[in-house]
Amino acid sequence: MKQTELKVQGMTCQHCVKAIEKNVSKLDGVTEVAVNLANAQVDVSFDEHKTDEAAIRAAIVEEGYEVLN
Amino acid sequence: MKQTELKVQGMTCQHCVKAIEKNVSKLDGVTEVAVNLANAQVDVSFDEHKTDEAAIRAAIVEEGYEVLN
């Protein structure tokens, strides 16, 4: 199991939080998604044998947000 | 047919626009909803025999926004 902490730009409201949670959660191997709107941070726990950080980043970008780190 | 121009506080992104469009559009008698995010304005055309401005305002408030005028 791995964890990644991503700084995400463009999240403005709870709809944004839900959109990211939903799109990242549907990746096979993702076990937890915690979005902190105030800190612009998305913490994701995942099984590195099933997915990787690139896929997680892509799922966020796909929703229209930028990953800063 | 009537039209109302509402100033709405709290719309921050396209998800907010969609949420308001969807909830107002489903009122029977509403024929057009135009949301301008930059101007914080929601213009609604409706058949006054089927719905009224109070119902439109309520549909916006229900989504978590404030109508200022």
Tens of pLDDT, residues A34-65: 999 999 999 999 999 999 999 999 999 999 99
Quote the tokens at residue A19.
């959109």
Contact indicator for A67, A57 with CB cutoff of 8 Å: yes
Count of CB contacts below 8 A, A vs B?
17
Task: Using a cut of 0.90, tell me whether the model's pTM lies above it.
Answer: no
User: Which residue from B minimizes the CA distance to A12?
Assistant: B12
Q: Confirm whether the ipTM is greater than 0.95.
A: no
Q: Which domains does chain B have, with CATH numbers?
A: 2-67 (3.30.70.100)
Tens of pLDDT, residues A1-24: 999 999 999 999 999 999 999 999
Predicted local confidence at residue B29, as pLDDT: 98
- Distance, in Å, from the CA atom of A18 to the CA atom of A24, rounded to the nearest integer, reads 10
**Residue A37 exposed, middle or buried by CB count within 10 Å (0-12, 13-18, 19+):** middle
User: Which residue from A minimizes the CA distance to B65?
Assistant: A13
- Cα of A12 to nearest chain B Cα, Å: 6
Residues of A whose CB is below 8 A from B16 = 13, 15
